[in-house]
């Protein structure tokens, strides 16, 4: 039983890491209906920039601040030069544009900072927390728990932004109906700019945590693929959905690996989430928390 909990908690905490990446997707999708394939590249870019700046002798705080600025700027530039000219084009064109963008950003990141794998130390060790292990016998990673805490704060902030503020209301209005939003005087470009800047910020947080855990390397971009089942499960347009989806995916993939893996020779962690997502897609296409498709009969 103790082992079960250890696996479960480990899974839930790693799920939070997926949620962090999924969150970036949700933001953009919610406000502009674009599935931003480049989110993974943004995560990679953020982590690489941060590490690169640290190597150039900047302090942790300074590197963080500069990277944040760079990410916000990058978000604004993407909105202005890629998405704005494509307004009112079919969804698939926008999607293709973000695919192109993702390769561009990856290339740019490696051009600027080089392609070698780097370590990233953000000062939190990946070790069991002593007092929890003593009290219950369950090992909980300090790093994972901190990452979960950071994610929780981020999600709370975003949820408040969306539901309580004037800008948040405008964001949701834009997500619902571009034309009507324009008609009531909401400046779409300003709203999209804000969303991309926030997505850049989320990518930075995800990039730091993932980079610290797996090392800053090209494989970081594949983290985005892990976010896909999370999105399908939680709903593409729901911030809480990204979190719950991440938790479910994280927990089930670890449990499946440990308990079913041995029967089929292991290695199911890699694809089990996709099976889960596929099954979910058949039953509930809008995801757990996705906005219900409103149909009046």
Partner 1 sequence: MVQVASMAAQAEPAAQIALSVNNIEVIYDHVILVLRGVSLQVPKGRIVALLGANGAGKTTTLKAISNLLSAERGDVTKGTIEFEGKRVDKLTPNELVRRGVCQVMEGRHCFAHLTVEENLLTGAFTRKASRAEIRAALEKVYHYFPRLRQRRGSLAGYTSGGEQQMTAVGRALMARPSMILLDEPSMGLAPQIVEEIFEIVGNLNKQESVSFLLAEQNTNVALRFADYGYILENGRVVMDGAAGQLAQNEDVKEFYLGLSTAGRKSFREVKHYRRRKRWLA
Which residues make up the interface to partner 1 (CB under 8 A)?
Answer: 87-88, 166, 169-170, 172-173, 175-187, 291, 294, 296
Q: Which helix (H) or strand (E) holds 252?
A: helix 239-259
Cα(207)–Cα(218) distance, rounded to whole angstroms? 12
Residue among 269 and 291 whose Cβ is closer to partner 1: 291
Residue among 92 and 292 whose Cβ is closer to partner 1: 292
Residue 176 corresponds to which tokens in the numbers above?
Answer: 């619902």
Residue among 111 and 296 whose Cβ is closer to partner 1: 296
Cα(144)–Cα(125) distance, rounded to whole angstroms? 9
Residue 111 corresponds to which tokens in the numbers above?
Answer: 């051009």
Residue among 74 and 175 whose Cβ is closer to partner 1: 175
Q: Which helix (H) or strand (E) holds 21?
A: helix 2-32
* Closest approach of partner 1 to the CB of residue 30, in Å: 10
Cα(130)–Cα(285) distance, rounded to whole angstroms? 43
* Closest approach of partner 1 to the CB of residue 84, in Å: 12
Cα(175)–Cα(266) distance, rounded to whole angstroms? 42
SS3 119: coil
Residue among 61 and 185 whose Cβ is closer to partner 1: 185
Residue among 136 and 163 whose Cβ is closer to partner 1: 163
* Closest approach of partner 1 to the CB of residue 284, in Å: 17
* Closest approach of partner 1 to the CB of residue 209, in Å: 31
* Closest approach of partner 1 to the CB of residue 38, in Å: 24
* Closest approach of partner 1 to the CB of residue 291, in Å: 5
For residues 191 and 174, the answer to whether their CB atoms sit within 8 Å is yes
User: What torsion do the CA atoms of 277, 279, 282, 288 make, to the nearest 10 degrees?
Assistant: -50
């Amino acid at each position: 039983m103790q082992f079960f909990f250890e696996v479960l908690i480990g899974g839930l905490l790693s799920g939070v890491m997926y949620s962090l990446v999924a969150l970036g997707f949700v933001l953009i999708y919610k406000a502009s209906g674009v599935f931003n394939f480049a989110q993974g590249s943004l995560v990679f870019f953020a982590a690489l920039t941060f590490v690169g700046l640290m190597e150039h002798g900047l302090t942790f705080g300074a590197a963080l601040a500069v990277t944040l600025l760079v990410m916000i700027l990058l978000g604004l530039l993407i909105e202005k030069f890629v998405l704005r000219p494509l307004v009112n084009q079919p969804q698939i064109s926008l999607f293709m544009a973000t695919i192109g963008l993702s390769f561009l950003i990856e290339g740019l990141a490696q051009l600027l900072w080089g392609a070698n794998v780097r370590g990233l130390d953000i000062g939190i060790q990946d070790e069991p927390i002593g007092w929890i292990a003593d009290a219950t016998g369950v090992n909980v990673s300090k790093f994972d728990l901190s990452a979960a805490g950071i994610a929780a704060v981020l999600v709370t902030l975003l949820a408040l932004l969306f539901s309580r503020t004037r800008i948040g209301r405008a964001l949701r209005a834009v997500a619902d109906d571009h034309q009507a939003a324009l008609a009531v005087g909401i400046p779409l470009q300003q709203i999209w700019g804000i969303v991309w800047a926030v997505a850049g910020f989320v990518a930075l947080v995800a990039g730091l945590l993932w980079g610290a855990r797996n090392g800053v390397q090209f494989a970081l971009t594949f983290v985005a693929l892990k976010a896909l089942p999370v999105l399908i499960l939680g709903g593409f347009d729901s911030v809480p959905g990204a979190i719950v989806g991440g938790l479910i995916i994280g927990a089930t993939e670890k449990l499946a690996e440990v308990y079913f893996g041995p029967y089929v020779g292991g290695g199911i962690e890699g694809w089990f989430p996709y099976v889960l997502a596929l099954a979910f897609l058949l039953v509930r296409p809008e995801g757990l928390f996705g906005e219900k498709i409103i149909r009046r009969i």
